[in-house]
Amino acid sequence: MPEILPELNDLIRVRYEKLEELKAQGIEPYGGRYERTHLAEEVRERFSELEGQEVSLAGRIMARRSHGKVTFADLQDFSGRIQIMVRQDAVGPEAYEIFKKLDLGDIIGVKGSVFKTRTGEITIAVARFELLAKSLRPLPEKWHGLKDVDLRYRQRYLDLIVNPEVKRIFILRSQIIRAIRRFLDERGFLEVETPMMQPVPGGAAARPFITYHNALEMQLYLRIAPELYLKRLLVGGFEKVYEINRNFRNEGISTRHNPEFTMLELYQAYADYQDMLKLTEELITWVAKEVLGTWQIKYGEAEIDLSPPWRRISLLEAVRQKTGIDFASLEADEAREAAERLGVELKGKTLWGEIVNEVFEELVEPELINPTFVLDYPVDISPLAKRKKEDPRLTYRFELFIGGREIANAFSELNDPLDQRERFLQQLERRRAGDEEAHMFDEDFLVALEYGMPPAGGLGIGIDRLVMLLTNSPSIREVILFPLHRPRD
Protein backbone atom coordinates (compact mmCIF):
# COMPACT_ATOMS: atom_id res chain seq x y z
CA MET A 1 0.00 0.00 0.00
CA PRO A 2 1.50 3.42 -0.88
CA GLU A 3 2.89 5.49 1.99
CA ILE A 4 0.61 8.41 1.00
CA LEU A 5 -2.49 6.32 1.70
CA PRO A 6 -3.13 7.76 5.22
CA GLU A 7 -3.31 11.24 3.70
CA LEU A 8 -5.98 10.26 1.15
CA ASN A 9 -9.66 10.80 1.69
CA ASP A 10 -11.94 7.83 2.23
CA LEU A 11 -13.13 7.53 -1.39
CA ILE A 12 -9.60 7.39 -2.72
CA ARG A 13 -8.49 5.04 0.06
CA VAL A 14 -11.22 2.57 -0.94
CA ARG A 15 -10.00 2.67 -4.54
CA TYR A 16 -6.44 1.94 -3.47
CA GLU A 17 -7.71 -1.01 -1.48
CA LYS A 18 -9.59 -2.30 -4.54
CA LEU A 19 -6.40 -1.95 -6.54
CA GLU A 20 -4.56 -4.17 -4.08
CA GLU A 21 -7.41 -6.71 -4.14
CA LEU A 22 -7.25 -6.91 -7.92
CA LYS A 23 -3.51 -7.47 -7.84
CA ALA A 24 -3.96 -10.16 -5.19
CA GLN A 25 -6.38 -11.94 -7.54
CA GLY A 26 -3.76 -11.89 -10.27
CA ILE A 27 -5.55 -9.20 -12.31
CA GLU A 28 -3.35 -6.67 -14.07
CA PRO A 29 -5.02 -3.29 -13.35
CA TYR A 30 -3.14 -1.43 -16.09
CA GLY A 31 -3.42 -3.35 -19.31
CA GLY A 32 -1.76 -2.97 -22.67
CA ARG A 33 -2.89 -2.80 -26.25
CA TYR A 34 -6.57 -3.50 -26.81
CA GLU A 35 -7.98 -4.00 -30.28
CA ARG A 36 -11.26 -2.22 -30.92
CA THR A 37 -13.52 -2.81 -33.88
CA HIS A 38 -15.85 0.15 -33.40
CA LEU A 39 -16.43 3.42 -31.54
CA ALA A 40 -19.59 3.97 -29.50
CA GLU A 41 -21.18 6.43 -31.90
CA GLU A 42 -20.40 4.18 -34.84
CA VAL A 43 -22.34 1.34 -33.24
CA ARG A 44 -25.30 3.65 -32.63
CA GLU A 45 -25.26 5.01 -36.20
CA ARG A 46 -24.85 1.57 -37.83
CA PHE A 47 -27.15 -0.37 -35.52
CA SER A 48 -29.27 -1.80 -38.33
CA GLU A 49 -26.28 -3.59 -39.86
CA LEU A 50 -24.46 -4.38 -36.61
CA GLU A 51 -27.44 -5.80 -34.69
CA GLY A 52 -26.59 -9.30 -33.44
CA GLN A 53 -22.91 -9.00 -34.40
CA GLU A 54 -19.99 -9.09 -31.97
CA VAL A 55 -18.11 -5.83 -31.54
CA SER A 56 -15.17 -4.73 -29.43
CA LEU A 57 -15.12 -1.34 -27.71
CA ALA A 58 -13.04 0.36 -25.04
CA GLY A 59 -13.72 3.35 -22.85
CA ARG A 60 -14.41 4.76 -19.42
CA ILE A 61 -17.26 3.65 -17.14
CA MET A 62 -19.39 6.78 -16.58
CA ALA A 63 -22.51 5.37 -14.93
CA ARG A 64 -23.65 2.03 -13.54
CA ARG A 65 -26.94 0.44 -12.47
CA SER A 66 -27.01 -3.03 -10.88
CA HIS A 67 -30.08 -5.27 -10.81
CA GLY A 68 -29.09 -8.47 -9.02
CA LYS A 69 -27.28 -10.63 -11.53
CA VAL A 70 -27.41 -8.01 -14.28
CA THR A 71 -25.50 -4.72 -14.34
CA PHE A 72 -25.93 -1.96 -16.89
CA ALA A 73 -23.25 0.69 -17.40
CA ASP A 74 -22.50 3.61 -19.68
CA LEU A 75 -19.22 3.27 -21.56
CA GLN A 76 -17.69 6.51 -22.89
CA ASP A 77 -15.05 6.75 -25.60
CA PHE A 78 -13.96 9.70 -27.75
CA SER A 79 -17.08 9.51 -29.91
CA GLY A 80 -19.64 9.42 -27.08
CA ARG A 81 -21.45 6.99 -24.80
CA ILE A 82 -23.14 3.64 -25.26
CA GLN A 83 -24.87 1.34 -22.82
CA ILE A 84 -23.35 -2.04 -21.96
CA MET A 85 -25.01 -4.94 -20.17
CA VAL A 86 -23.05 -7.44 -18.07
CA ARG A 87 -24.92 -10.58 -17.01
CA GLN A 88 -23.56 -13.08 -14.51
CA ASP A 89 -24.59 -16.03 -16.65
CA ALA A 90 -22.79 -14.52 -19.67
CA VAL A 91 -19.41 -13.64 -18.13
CA GLY A 92 -19.38 -16.13 -15.23
CA PRO A 93 -19.81 -15.57 -11.46
CA GLU A 94 -16.16 -14.74 -10.78
CA ALA A 95 -15.87 -12.17 -13.57
CA TYR A 96 -19.24 -10.71 -12.63
CA GLU A 97 -18.10 -10.09 -9.05
CA ILE A 98 -15.00 -8.36 -10.39
CA PHE A 99 -17.12 -6.16 -12.64
CA LYS A 100 -19.38 -5.18 -9.75
CA LYS A 101 -16.33 -3.93 -7.86
CA LEU A 102 -15.18 -1.67 -10.68
CA ASP A 103 -15.54 2.09 -10.14
CA LEU A 104 -16.84 4.96 -12.20
CA GLY A 105 -13.87 6.24 -14.17
CA ASP A 106 -12.26 2.84 -14.67
CA ILE A 107 -11.25 2.17 -18.27
CA ILE A 108 -12.26 -1.21 -19.67
CA GLY A 109 -12.43 -3.07 -22.94
CA VAL A 110 -15.55 -5.09 -23.78
CA LYS A 111 -16.53 -7.64 -26.41
CA GLY A 112 -20.14 -8.55 -27.01
CA SER A 113 -23.13 -8.51 -29.33
CA VAL A 114 -25.22 -5.50 -30.30
CA PHE A 115 -28.90 -5.44 -29.42
CA LYS A 116 -31.69 -3.10 -28.40
CA THR A 117 -33.40 -3.30 -25.01
CA ARG A 118 -37.17 -3.32 -24.51
CA THR A 119 -36.96 0.44 -23.86
CA GLY A 120 -35.24 0.94 -27.23
CA GLU A 121 -31.72 1.56 -25.88
CA ILE A 122 -28.89 0.36 -28.14
CA THR A 123 -26.73 -1.84 -25.93
CA ILE A 124 -23.72 -4.18 -25.97
CA ALA A 125 -24.38 -7.53 -24.31
CA VAL A 126 -20.92 -8.17 -22.85
CA ALA A 127 -19.42 -11.62 -23.26
CA ARG A 128 -15.91 -10.66 -22.08
CA PHE A 129 -14.36 -7.59 -20.49
CA GLU A 130 -10.88 -6.54 -19.53
CA LEU A 131 -9.69 -3.89 -17.07
CA LEU A 132 -7.32 -1.52 -18.90
CA ALA A 133 -6.75 1.23 -16.34
CA LYS A 134 -7.90 1.47 -12.72
CA SER A 135 -9.03 4.97 -11.73
CA LEU A 136 -7.75 5.88 -8.28
CA ARG A 137 -9.61 9.18 -7.98
CA PRO A 138 -13.38 9.66 -8.29
CA LEU A 139 -14.74 11.75 -11.14
CA PRO A 140 -16.64 14.96 -10.29
CA GLU A 141 -20.05 14.22 -8.82
CA LYS A 142 -22.57 13.31 -11.53
CA TRP A 143 -25.18 16.00 -11.03
CA HIS A 144 -22.85 18.93 -10.39
CA GLY A 145 -20.14 18.04 -12.87
CA LEU A 146 -17.00 20.14 -13.06
CA LYS A 147 -18.27 23.70 -12.66
CA ASP A 148 -15.39 25.49 -10.92
CA VAL A 149 -13.85 27.53 -13.74
CA ASP A 150 -10.33 27.62 -12.31
CA LEU A 151 -10.38 23.87 -11.66
CA ARG A 152 -11.66 23.22 -15.18
CA TYR A 153 -8.61 24.96 -16.65
CA ARG A 154 -6.14 23.41 -14.22
CA GLN A 155 -7.51 19.90 -14.76
CA ARG A 156 -8.64 20.13 -18.37
CA TYR A 157 -8.53 16.33 -18.65
CA LEU A 158 -11.41 16.12 -16.15
CA ASP A 159 -13.22 18.92 -17.97
CA LEU A 160 -13.03 16.90 -21.19
CA ILE A 161 -14.27 13.73 -19.48
CA VAL A 162 -17.36 15.16 -17.82
CA ASN A 163 -18.33 18.15 -20.00
CA PRO A 164 -19.17 17.02 -23.55
CA GLU A 165 -19.59 20.62 -24.75
CA VAL A 166 -15.93 21.32 -23.94
CA LYS A 167 -14.82 18.39 -26.08
CA ARG A 168 -17.02 19.69 -28.91
CA ILE A 169 -15.28 23.09 -28.78
CA PHE A 170 -11.85 21.54 -29.27
CA ILE A 171 -13.05 19.23 -32.02
CA LEU A 172 -14.41 22.33 -33.79
CA ARG A 173 -11.12 24.12 -33.20
CA SER A 174 -9.27 21.33 -34.99
CA GLN A 175 -11.78 21.41 -37.84
CA ILE A 176 -11.45 25.19 -38.16
CA ILE A 177 -7.66 25.04 -38.42
CA ARG A 178 -7.85 22.16 -40.90
CA ALA A 179 -10.31 24.14 -43.01
CA ILE A 180 -8.03 27.20 -42.97
CA ARG A 181 -5.14 25.10 -44.21
CA ARG A 182 -7.24 23.58 -46.97
CA PHE A 183 -8.48 27.00 -48.09
CA LEU A 184 -4.95 28.43 -48.34
CA ASP A 185 -3.34 25.33 -49.82
CA GLU A 186 -5.92 25.26 -52.60
CA ARG A 187 -5.05 28.88 -53.43
CA GLY A 188 -1.36 28.22 -53.85
CA PHE A 189 -0.08 29.33 -50.45
CA LEU A 190 2.89 27.45 -49.02
CA GLU A 191 2.92 26.61 -45.31
CA VAL A 192 6.28 27.38 -43.71
CA GLU A 193 7.89 27.49 -40.27
CA THR A 194 9.90 30.37 -38.82
CA PRO A 195 11.94 30.60 -35.59
CA MET A 196 10.24 30.75 -32.20
CA MET A 197 13.47 31.92 -30.56
CA GLN A 198 14.69 35.16 -32.10
CA PRO A 199 17.64 37.44 -31.40
CA VAL A 200 15.42 40.47 -32.12
CA PRO A 201 11.66 40.16 -31.53
CA GLY A 202 9.62 42.04 -34.10
CA GLY A 203 6.43 42.19 -36.10
CA ALA A 204 4.21 43.49 -33.29
CA ALA A 205 4.09 45.96 -30.45
CA ALA A 206 4.44 43.73 -27.40
CA ARG A 207 6.68 42.93 -24.45
CA PRO A 208 8.57 39.67 -25.15
CA PHE A 209 9.57 36.76 -22.95
CA ILE A 210 13.34 36.56 -22.54
CA THR A 211 15.38 33.35 -22.54
CA TYR A 212 19.07 32.46 -22.78
CA HIS A 213 21.01 30.05 -25.00
CA ASN A 214 23.89 28.59 -22.99
CA ALA A 215 26.00 27.21 -25.85
CA LEU A 216 25.92 30.45 -27.85
CA GLU A 217 26.01 32.57 -24.70
CA MET A 218 23.34 34.89 -26.02
CA GLN A 219 20.01 36.28 -24.95
CA LEU A 220 17.03 35.30 -27.09
CA TYR A 221 13.36 36.24 -27.16
CA LEU A 222 10.31 34.06 -27.65
CA ARG A 223 8.51 35.06 -30.82
CA ILE A 224 5.90 37.80 -30.52
CA ALA A 225 5.08 37.50 -34.25
CA PRO A 226 6.54 35.73 -37.31
CA GLU A 227 6.11 38.76 -39.59
CA LEU A 228 9.69 39.83 -40.23
CA TYR A 229 10.83 36.29 -41.01
CA LEU A 230 7.93 35.67 -43.37
CA LYS A 231 8.80 38.90 -45.17
CA ARG A 232 12.37 37.67 -45.54
CA LEU A 233 10.87 34.77 -47.48
CA LEU A 234 9.19 37.26 -49.83
CA VAL A 235 12.64 38.72 -50.45
CA GLY A 236 13.89 35.20 -51.13
CA GLY A 237 11.30 34.59 -53.84
CA PHE A 238 8.46 32.81 -52.03
CA GLU A 239 5.40 34.69 -53.23
CA LYS A 240 2.54 33.21 -51.17
CA VAL A 241 3.40 31.92 -47.69
CA TYR A 242 1.57 31.32 -44.44
CA GLU A 243 2.26 30.06 -40.95
CA ILE A 244 -0.14 28.93 -38.23
CA ASN A 245 2.14 29.92 -35.43
CA ARG A 246 2.48 30.05 -31.67
CA ASN A 247 3.28 33.51 -30.35
CA PHE A 248 4.31 34.58 -26.85
CA ARG A 249 3.66 37.99 -25.34
CA ASN A 250 4.57 38.92 -21.80
CA GLU A 251 1.29 40.62 -21.03
CA GLY A 252 -1.73 40.30 -18.79
CA ILE A 253 -4.35 37.56 -18.89
CA SER A 254 -7.95 38.40 -19.75
CA THR A 255 -10.93 36.99 -21.60
CA ARG A 256 -9.19 38.05 -24.84
CA HIS A 257 -5.52 37.55 -23.97
CA ASN A 258 -3.35 34.59 -23.07
CA PRO A 259 0.47 34.94 -22.99
CA GLU A 260 0.74 32.00 -25.43
CA PHE A 261 -1.65 32.08 -28.37
CA THR A 262 -2.10 30.99 -31.98
CA MET A 263 -2.11 33.19 -35.07
CA LEU A 264 -2.48 32.70 -38.78
CA GLU A 265 -0.11 35.00 -40.63
CA LEU A 266 0.18 35.07 -44.41
CA TYR A 267 1.85 37.18 -47.11
CA GLN A 268 1.19 37.49 -50.81
CA ALA A 269 3.61 39.20 -53.18
CA TYR A 270 2.27 41.77 -55.67
CA ALA A 271 -0.91 42.22 -53.61
CA ASP A 272 -2.17 44.96 -51.30
CA TYR A 273 -4.54 45.41 -48.38
CA GLN A 274 -7.58 45.38 -50.63
CA ASP A 275 -6.56 41.91 -51.80
CA MET A 276 -6.14 40.91 -48.16
CA LEU A 277 -9.59 42.30 -47.38
CA LYS A 278 -11.15 40.15 -50.08
CA LEU A 279 -9.13 37.11 -48.97
CA THR A 280 -10.15 37.59 -45.32
CA GLU A 281 -13.84 37.76 -46.16
CA GLU A 282 -13.62 34.71 -48.41
CA LEU A 283 -11.60 32.68 -45.90
CA ILE A 284 -13.77 33.28 -42.84
CA THR A 285 -17.08 32.83 -44.66
CA TRP A 286 -15.78 29.65 -46.29
CA VAL A 287 -14.54 28.25 -42.98
CA ALA A 288 -17.81 29.09 -41.22
CA LYS A 289 -19.90 27.40 -43.90
CA GLU A 290 -17.51 24.41 -44.04
CA VAL A 291 -17.44 23.82 -40.26
CA LEU A 292 -20.82 25.14 -39.05
CA GLY A 293 -22.84 24.90 -42.25
CA THR A 294 -24.24 28.42 -41.78
CA TRP A 295 -23.42 32.14 -41.79
CA GLN A 296 -25.91 32.86 -39.01
CA ILE A 297 -24.16 32.49 -35.66
CA LYS A 298 -24.81 33.48 -32.07
CA TYR A 299 -22.15 35.11 -29.93
CA GLY A 300 -23.24 35.82 -26.38
CA GLU A 301 -26.55 37.63 -26.70
CA ALA A 302 -25.78 38.85 -30.23
CA GLU A 303 -27.10 37.33 -33.44
CA ILE A 304 -24.35 37.76 -36.04
CA ASP A 305 -24.75 37.52 -39.80
CA LEU A 306 -21.53 36.51 -41.59
CA SER A 307 -23.12 36.77 -45.03
CA PRO A 308 -20.87 38.70 -47.42
CA PRO A 309 -20.25 41.42 -48.43
CA TRP A 310 -19.13 42.89 -45.10
CA ARG A 311 -19.31 46.54 -44.08
CA ARG A 312 -16.31 48.77 -44.83
CA ILE A 313 -15.57 52.08 -43.10
CA SER A 314 -12.47 54.16 -42.41
CA LEU A 315 -11.32 54.50 -38.82
CA LEU A 316 -11.65 58.29 -38.87
CA GLU A 317 -15.17 58.11 -40.31
CA ALA A 318 -16.21 55.50 -37.72
CA VAL A 319 -14.97 57.81 -34.94
CA ARG A 320 -16.69 60.85 -36.53
CA GLN A 321 -20.00 59.00 -36.80
CA LYS A 322 -19.81 57.96 -33.13
CA THR A 323 -18.52 61.21 -31.59
CA GLY A 324 -19.42 63.94 -34.09
CA ILE A 325 -15.77 65.03 -34.04
CA ASP A 326 -13.61 65.14 -37.17
CA PHE A 327 -10.24 64.08 -35.75
CA ALA A 328 -8.73 64.33 -39.24
CA SER A 329 -8.83 68.11 -38.90
CA LEU A 330 -7.17 68.19 -35.47
CA GLU A 331 -3.54 68.37 -34.39
CA ALA A 332 -2.26 66.15 -31.59
CA ASP A 333 -2.95 68.65 -28.77
CA GLU A 334 -6.46 69.31 -30.06
CA ALA A 335 -7.09 65.59 -30.44
CA ARG A 336 -5.98 64.99 -26.84
CA GLU A 337 -8.34 67.69 -25.55
CA ALA A 338 -11.22 66.24 -27.59
CA ALA A 339 -10.54 62.73 -26.26
CA GLU A 340 -10.47 63.99 -22.69
CA ARG A 341 -13.82 65.73 -23.21
CA LEU A 342 -15.19 62.39 -24.40
CA GLY A 343 -13.97 60.75 -21.20
CA VAL A 344 -11.40 58.55 -22.95
CA GLU A 345 -8.41 57.54 -20.84
CA LEU A 346 -5.31 58.03 -23.01
CA LYS A 347 -2.92 55.99 -20.83
CA GLY A 348 0.00 58.29 -21.58
CA LYS A 349 -0.56 58.31 -25.35
CA THR A 350 0.57 61.61 -26.94
CA LEU A 351 0.82 61.04 -30.71
CA TRP A 352 -2.16 61.99 -32.89
CA GLY A 353 -2.61 58.49 -34.25
CA GLU A 354 -2.40 56.91 -30.80
CA ILE A 355 -5.06 59.27 -29.46
CA VAL A 356 -7.44 58.61 -32.34
CA ASN A 357 -7.00 54.87 -31.89
CA GLU A 358 -7.72 55.07 -28.15
CA VAL A 359 -10.98 56.90 -28.90
CA PHE A 360 -11.88 54.27 -31.47
CA GLU A 361 -11.07 51.30 -29.22
CA GLU A 362 -13.05 52.64 -26.26
CA LEU A 363 -16.09 54.11 -27.96
CA VAL A 364 -16.50 52.42 -31.35
CA GLU A 365 -14.98 48.93 -31.24
CA PRO A 366 -17.44 47.38 -28.72
CA GLU A 367 -20.36 48.28 -31.02
CA LEU A 368 -18.98 46.53 -34.12
CA ILE A 369 -21.02 43.34 -33.80
CA ASN A 370 -21.62 42.31 -37.42
CA PRO A 371 -18.44 41.94 -39.52
CA THR A 372 -16.87 45.33 -40.17
CA PHE A 373 -13.63 46.21 -41.92
CA VAL A 374 -12.14 49.37 -40.39
CA LEU A 375 -9.64 50.87 -42.84
CA ASP A 376 -6.79 53.35 -42.97
CA TYR A 377 -5.07 53.29 -39.57
CA PRO A 378 -2.67 56.04 -38.48
CA VAL A 379 1.00 55.56 -39.27
CA ASP A 380 1.82 56.31 -35.60
CA ILE A 381 0.51 52.85 -34.66
CA SER A 382 1.40 51.05 -37.90
CA PRO A 383 5.22 50.99 -38.18
CA LEU A 384 5.27 48.14 -40.73
CA ALA A 385 2.47 49.33 -43.05
CA LYS A 386 2.76 51.39 -46.23
CA ARG A 387 1.73 55.04 -46.03
CA LYS A 388 -1.32 56.26 -47.91
CA LYS A 389 -0.42 58.52 -50.81
CA GLU A 390 -3.60 60.51 -50.21
CA ASP A 391 -2.76 61.21 -46.53
CA PRO A 392 0.74 60.40 -45.21
CA ARG A 393 -0.60 60.35 -41.63
CA LEU A 394 -2.49 57.15 -42.50
CA THR A 395 -1.56 53.72 -43.82
CA TYR A 396 -3.07 51.13 -46.13
CA ARG A 397 -4.19 49.00 -43.22
CA PHE A 398 -7.42 47.48 -41.97
CA GLU A 399 -8.64 45.57 -38.96
CA LEU A 400 -11.67 43.27 -38.97
CA PHE A 401 -14.10 43.36 -36.05
CA ILE A 402 -16.82 40.83 -35.30
CA GLY A 403 -18.74 40.57 -32.06
CA GLY A 404 -17.08 43.76 -30.79
CA ARG A 405 -13.61 42.23 -31.00
CA GLU A 406 -10.66 42.42 -33.37
CA ILE A 407 -10.38 39.25 -35.42
CA ALA A 408 -7.88 40.18 -38.15
CA ASN A 409 -5.26 42.79 -38.99
CA ALA A 410 -3.80 43.42 -42.45
CA PHE A 411 -1.97 45.97 -44.53
CA SER A 412 -0.08 46.76 -47.65
CA GLU A 413 3.41 45.92 -46.46
CA LEU A 414 6.04 48.61 -46.20
CA ASN A 415 8.82 47.61 -48.61
CA ASP A 416 10.75 50.89 -48.67
CA PRO A 417 13.92 50.18 -46.63
CA LEU A 418 14.60 53.89 -46.02
CA ASP A 419 11.12 54.58 -44.66
CA GLN A 420 11.31 51.38 -42.60
CA ARG A 421 14.66 52.41 -41.11
CA GLU A 422 13.24 55.78 -40.13
CA ARG A 423 10.26 54.16 -38.44
CA PHE A 424 12.49 51.72 -36.58
CA LEU A 425 14.52 54.69 -35.33
CA GLN A 426 11.32 56.33 -34.10
CA GLN A 427 10.39 53.11 -32.31
CA LEU A 428 13.88 52.98 -30.82
CA GLU A 429 13.38 56.45 -29.35
CA ARG A 430 10.12 55.31 -27.82
CA ARG A 431 11.86 52.34 -26.21
CA ARG A 432 14.51 54.64 -24.78
CA ALA A 433 11.68 56.76 -23.36
CA GLY A 434 10.36 53.72 -21.52
CA ASP A 435 7.88 52.12 -23.94
CA GLU A 436 8.68 48.41 -23.49
CA GLU A 437 6.22 47.43 -26.23
CA ALA A 438 7.81 49.53 -28.98
CA HIS A 439 9.40 47.63 -31.87
CA MET A 440 13.07 46.75 -31.55
CA PHE A 441 15.52 47.88 -34.21
CA ASP A 442 16.18 44.96 -36.57
CA GLU A 443 19.18 45.69 -38.78
CA ASP A 444 19.18 42.24 -40.38
CA PHE A 445 15.60 42.76 -41.57
CA LEU A 446 16.55 46.15 -43.02
CA VAL A 447 19.43 44.51 -44.91
CA ALA A 448 16.95 42.03 -46.37
CA LEU A 449 14.66 44.88 -47.47
CA GLU A 450 17.60 46.60 -49.16
CA TYR A 451 17.89 43.61 -51.50
CA GLY A 452 14.34 44.36 -52.59
CA MET A 453 11.03 43.00 -51.29
CA PRO A 454 8.17 42.93 -53.78
CA PRO A 455 5.05 44.91 -52.93
CA ALA A 456 2.87 42.63 -50.85
CA GLY A 457 -0.21 42.29 -48.72
CA GLY A 458 -0.02 40.69 -45.30
CA LEU A 459 -2.74 39.33 -43.03
CA GLY A 460 -2.92 38.11 -39.46
CA ILE A 461 -5.94 36.34 -37.97
CA GLY A 462 -6.19 35.41 -34.31
CA ILE A 463 -7.03 31.71 -34.39
CA ASP A 464 -8.13 31.65 -30.75
CA ARG A 465 -10.48 34.60 -31.22
CA LEU A 466 -11.89 33.12 -34.42
CA VAL A 467 -12.56 29.86 -32.57
CA MET A 468 -14.18 31.84 -29.75
CA LEU A 469 -16.49 33.46 -32.29
CA LEU A 470 -17.45 30.27 -34.10
CA THR A 471 -18.00 28.27 -30.90
CA ASN A 472 -19.75 31.05 -28.94
CA SER A 473 -17.08 30.95 -26.22
CA PRO A 474 -16.91 34.00 -23.91
CA SER A 475 -13.24 33.63 -22.95
CA ILE A 476 -10.03 32.75 -24.79
CA ARG A 477 -9.32 30.29 -21.98
CA GLU A 478 -12.32 28.24 -23.14
CA VAL A 479 -10.65 27.56 -26.51
CA ILE A 480 -7.08 26.89 -25.34
CA LEU A 481 -6.63 23.38 -23.98
CA PHE A 482 -4.15 24.31 -21.28
CA PRO A 483 -4.27 28.08 -20.61
CA LEU A 484 -1.64 29.59 -18.35
CA HIS A 485 -2.55 30.06 -14.68
CA ARG A 486 -0.81 30.68 -11.39
CA PRO A 487 0.47 27.56 -9.60
CA ARG A 488 -1.46 26.58 -6.52
CA ASP A 489 0.07 27.45 -3.17
Instruction: In whole angstroms, give the CA distance from residue 454 to residue 12.
Output: 65
CA distance readout (Å), 248 to 196, 251, 361, 385: 9, 9, 23, 22
Is 406 annotated to bind a ligand? Reply is yes
**For residue 385, what are the β-bridge partners?**
413
Residue 30, exposed/middle/buried by CB under 10 A (0-12, 13-18, 19+)? Answer: exposed
Is 17 annotated to bind a ligand? Reply is no
Asked if 265 and 243 count as a contact pair (C-beta separation under 8 A), the reply is: yes
Peptide bond into 454 cis (omega under 30): no
Closest CA to 271 of 366, 187, 179, 180: 187
Asked if 448 and 413 count as a contact pair (C-beta separation under 8 A), the reply is: no
Residue 107, exposed/middle/buried by CB under 10 A (0-12, 13-18, 19+)? Answer: buried
Instruction: In whole angstroms, give the CA distance from residue 446 to residue 384.
Output: 12
Instruction: In whole angstroms, give the CA distance from residue 429 to residue 435.
Output: 9
Instruction: In whole angstroms, give the CA distance from residue 44 to residue 23.
Output: 35
Find how far residue 37's CA is from the centre of its chain.
Answer: 32
Instruction: In whole angstroms, give the CA distance from residue 314 to residue 457.
Output: 18
Please state the residue numbers annotated as binding site: 399, 406
Binding residues for Mg(2+): 399, 406
